[in-house]
Structure 1
């Protein structure tokens, strides 16, 4: 995995530079997300490694309808360098560069039950204040948490779940 990210990083940076220069970051983000979803499919992934796959067929398969010429050339470059299988990593790195440039971040809130909108807004406000960025919240429900929530905001994980508190108490008592 880390090798794939290492290989994908220069392509993501190049794609970001081209998209930023053309002022079309959202369009490139959408196009990369589409291509990454297609490339991540197990059947397509095997096909991308097939030496009989032609460049035109690969581009038709991976380029979304209405993609700009620069994006199609980028896919062609990936094809020529045998890097089409890196599209999921490239898309992820591209989005991270885009969020950084736009001053936003993504956070995931996992709770034992669905949280009401006012609580989510309170969490969003606290994260915005802590990180100094706009926050896009993604929510999930995991009944195994028993209560509370776990907030995953990039490099920071805040475990306020009952399950996490019980685990910390158990570890403290064991010592």
Structure 2
């Protein structure tokens, strides 16, 4: 995995540089995400490894409808260098670079029950104040938390769940 990330990093930086210069992060994100999903499909993995598949056919398969010429040339470069299998890593690294450049924090809020709009707005406002950046929230429900929520925002994890509190209490009592 770390070798794949090492190989993918220069390609992600190059794609990011092209997108930044064009001021077009969104279409590059969409194009790379689509190509990554296609390239990760088990049936496509075998096809991409086939010597019978031409680079032009690989680009046609992986390029999203309406992809610009630069995206197509980028995919052709990956095909020429036999790096199409790295597309999931490239797309992930591109998104990290994009969120950093756009000063956005992506947070995942996992709660015991579905949160209402008011609750999510409060969490978003608190995270925006804490990080000084815009916040994008993704939600999930995990009934095993019993109550409360766990917020995962990159390097910061805030565990306000009852399950977490009970675990900390148990550790404190066992000491």
> Which has the higher mean CA deviation after the structures are superposed, 33-42 or 49-58?
49-58
- Secondary structure in structure 2 of the residue aligned to 1:73: helix
Give 2:128's aligned residue: 128
- Secondary structure in structure 2 of the residue aligned to 1:60: helix
Give 1:114's aligned residue: 114
Aligned counterparts, 1:137-148, within 5 A: 137-148=137-148
Distance 2:46 2:172 in 1: 49
Give 1:173's aligned residue: 173
- Shift of the alpha carbon at 1:168? 1.4
- Shift of the alpha carbon at 1:50? 2.0
TM-score calculated relative to the size of structure 1: 0.96
- Shift of the alpha carbon at 1:139? 0.4
Aligned counterparts, 1:25-174, within 5 A: 25-174=25-174
- Shift of the alpha carbon at 1:78? 0.6
Regions of 4+ moved over 2 Å = none
Give 1:8's aligned residue: 8
Distance 2:173 2:52 in 1: 62
User: Any stretches of 5+ residues in structure 1 without a counterpart?
Assistant: none
- Shift of the alpha carbon at 1:5? 1.4
Matched pairs, number = 175
- Secondary structure in structure 2 of the residue aligned to 1:67: coil
- CA deviation string 1:28-78 (max 9, x = no partner): 111111101111111112222222221011011100111111110100111
TM-score calculated relative to the size of structure 2: 0.96
- Secondary structure in structure 2 of the residue aligned to 1:110: strand
User: Any stretches of 5+ residues in structure 2 without a counterpart?
Assistant: none
Distance 2:5 2:127 in 1: 27
> Could you say what the CA RMSD is over the residues aligned between the two structures, in angstroms?
1.0
